[in-house]
A and B are shown apart, each in its own frame.
Chain A
Amino acid sequence: MTAAIEFRGVSRVFGDVRAVDDVSFSVEAGEFFAMLGPSGSGKTTCLRLVAGFDLPGSGQVLLDGADVSAVPPFERNVNTVFQDYALFPHMTVLENVAYGPRVRGVSSPERSRRAREMLELVQLASQAERRPAQLSGGQRQRVALARALINQPRVLLLDEPLGALDLKLREEMQIELKSLQRRLGITFVYVTHDQGEALSMADRVAVFNQGRIEQLAAPRELYARPETAFVARFVGSANVANAELATKIAGSAAQPFAIRAENIAVLSESAPLAAGSVTAPGAVVAVQFHGAASRWQVKLDAGEVWSALVTEEDARALSGFAVGTRVRLAWPHAAAVPLSSASSGS
């Protein structure tokens, strides 16, 4: 089976910035594929290369096995939900949704019928005659979705589609988008800088950094076994020990590794240790209460500030600990994830 999207050694250079730097990957048909990374990491440029708004400087972009590297957007069977929704302000909601069929020469009654169907799908049928300016952010988002889906694209591109919504609405839309994707069976390519969004929705996630893919894996894999310091920090908010720090902690030459905050216990200097534990001494810098758990920031004697997630239950043993209190961080040796690269990431 041919991949829905394939990048073969694609680069895109703006001036002296390598926005996309020799990237290769493929997306299977029907997959929910997330491109995750901080701003300027190249994820949006990759999306624009799929849509056709931008053309690769070198390498090839393939859609369904056909090289589209030089094909303009209006000849690609791909549609986009824009970050700012890009709804046409001078058209009604219905006219916006019917725009795709309209420019493809579909008759007026037929395209209205199809547009109404799409508005049913996103539960906005009652707003058909309104202007985009009269809708809420969440409603605009749905119109943008209906407008992009009406052409029955092979691939739907979503560029930070939930970025402008508030938290509650964002969570609702995540669930809705995921179920829509399952129902329609369309390939979704989802660009985001929010690792929670990427992990909760995607089948696979490509983590972008400085124009390259750092790691491409399923969410669980990405979270449990980050390959680089950047992925460990960006995806899991993990503590990273580079080769130097790892060596100090182990007392002998050691590989760089990552350890997630929830795997670290905060102990008093005299508390007993479980077998197979690794420890690092330090002093408390700050404690942030998050409800079910607190995040303890501890400055290691070896230099870095690490954080540990302490449940309320465990926190009872730490009552009376204040900023400046000497503590030990301890974690099971097996919880440390070895990293292939010693780079400090971003």
Chain B
Amino acid sequence: MRAASTFFYRRPYWYLALLLLPPLLWFGTVYLGSLFALLWQSFYRIDDFTAQIVREPTLETYKQLVTQPANVDIVVRTLVMALAVTAACAVIALPIATYMARYARGRVKALFYVGVMLPMWTSYLVKVYAWRLLLAKEGIIAWVFAKLGLMGVLDSILAAPGIGGPSLSSSYLGMFLVFVYMWLPFMILPMAAALERVPGSLIQASADLGARPSQTFRNVVLPLAVPGIAAGSVFTFSLTLGDFIIPSVVGAPGYFIGMMVYVQQGTAGNVPLAAAFSVVPIVLIFVYLSIAKRFGAFDAL
């Protein structure tokens, strides 16, 4: 035992290797390995007549993805939804995270953190189906509008092209609300963490030099919170891009990327197309990150 301790003390790399090897093996083979296996499938194609997978490297599936209007529609629809959800989450999260990080103390602060995390502890499916009931034609939201005599307002919102539908639960607007609700904690928590790291003296220094609170927020607090906003937005953006349950339970009938992956590798049996669709979010997130980096989102890290 003592000899072993001495051995590892003198050779810290051995110690590190022993510590890291099992998780690296797990992560490397099971996680990344299966991901790459899936991605590799996207370079195969399906034979239209036999419905068999042709195991020869080809870009045929990608061609199908980017040329068929129905497929492009799915990508655009998902992308627009992901961007809208991310923007809405950022706008809603900013005041909440600012309050949690900079103003709340003691019990109030704990209460806010628990409040933000509590919804994440319940089943995702329960929440989605609960939202379907809330948004339904006879649901509580419609009931409140009716009680307030604002049914006309709701109807005219639902009549709007693109976002509307017969009821909230079968409209893109309803889907958007559910997405925002679901992913909001993933925006609030990294944002609050970033804001919490901004030293109080920087805010005092800004005021000391003559900046009004709004100027301090714009010039000091916000730029320093940007890495947190970027981190949160990667969560909300990628979660929306990949989700297939919310679009299939709530909202209009149009397909989303996640649903497409689910359907193509399942009932349709077109694994190459499913694989190609699952590459799309990865590419979009890379593009998103490089734009964020271009705008200096990670400079303050």
- Interface membership of chain A positions 192-216, coded 1 if the CB is closer than 8 angstroms to chain B and 0 otherwise: 0000000000000000000000000
- Interface majority SS (helix, strand, loop, mixed), chain B: helix
- Interface membership of chain A positions 17-61, coded 1 if the CB is closer than 8 angstroms to chain B and 0 otherwise: 000000000000000000000000000000000011100000000
> How far, in angstroms, from A101 to B223 measured CA to CA in the complex?
19
Known: A103-B215, A103-B219. A86 touches B210 (CB 8 A): no
**Which of these, A51, A53, A82, A103, contacts B210 with CB under 8 Å?**
A103
Tell whether B134 is near chain A: CB-to-CB under 8 Å.
no
Tell whether A316 is near chain B: CB-to-CB under 8 Å.
no
Of B55-63, B175-183, B197-205, the segment with at least 4 beta carbons within 8 Å of chain A is B197-205
Tell whether B206 is near chain A: CB-to-CB under 8 Å.
yes
Tell whether B220 is near chain A: CB-to-CB under 8 Å.
yes
Shortest C-beta distance, B83 to chain A (Å), equals 25
Known: A90-B224, A103-B215. A73 touches B202 (CB 8 A): no
Q: Give the size category of B's interface with A.
A: 10 to 19
B201 touching A82 by the CB < 8 A rule? Answer: yes
**Which of these, A78, A86, A102, A104, contacts B205 with CB under 8 Å?**
A86
> How far, in angstroms, from A105 to B294 measured CA to CA in the complex?
28
- Interface membership of chain A positions 104-115, coded 1 if the CB is closer than 8 angstroms to chain B and 0 otherwise: 100000000000
> How far, in angstroms, from A74 to B219 measured CA to CA in the complex?
14
Tell whether A80 is near chain B: CB-to-CB under 8 Å.
yes
Tell whether B4 is near chain A: CB-to-CB under 8 Å.
no
User: Across the interface, which residues of A come within 8 angstroms of B210, CB to CB?
Assistant: 74, 100, 103-104, 151
Give the size of the chain A interface in residues (CB under 8 angstroms). 25
Shortest C-beta distance, A7 to chain B (Å), equals 19
Tell whether B110 is near chain A: CB-to-CB under 8 Å.
no
Identify the closest chain B residue to A99 (Cβ): B209
B300 touching A80 by the CB < 8 A rule? Answer: no
A74 touching B212 by the CB < 8 A rule? Answer: yes
B199 touching A86 by the CB < 8 A rule? Answer: yes
Q: List 17 A-B contacts (CB under 8 A).
A: A53-B207, A72-B207, A74-B207, A74-B208, A74-B210, A74-B211, A79-B209, A80-B208, A86-B199, A86-B202, A86-B205, A88-B206, A99-B211, A100-B209, A103-B210, A103-B211, A104-B210
Show the binding face of A for B, using Cβ within 8 Å: 51-53, 72-74, 78-80, 82-84, 86-90, 99-100, 102-104, 147-148, 151
Q: A74-B210, A88-B202, A103-B209 are in contact. List 20 more A-B contacts (CB 8 A).
A: A51-B204, A51-B208, A73-B207, A74-B207, A74-B209, A74-B211, A78-B208, A79-B208, A79-B209, A86-B199, A86-B201, A88-B206, A90-B223, A90-B224, A90-B299, A99-B219, A100-B209, A103-B206, A103-B212, A148-B209
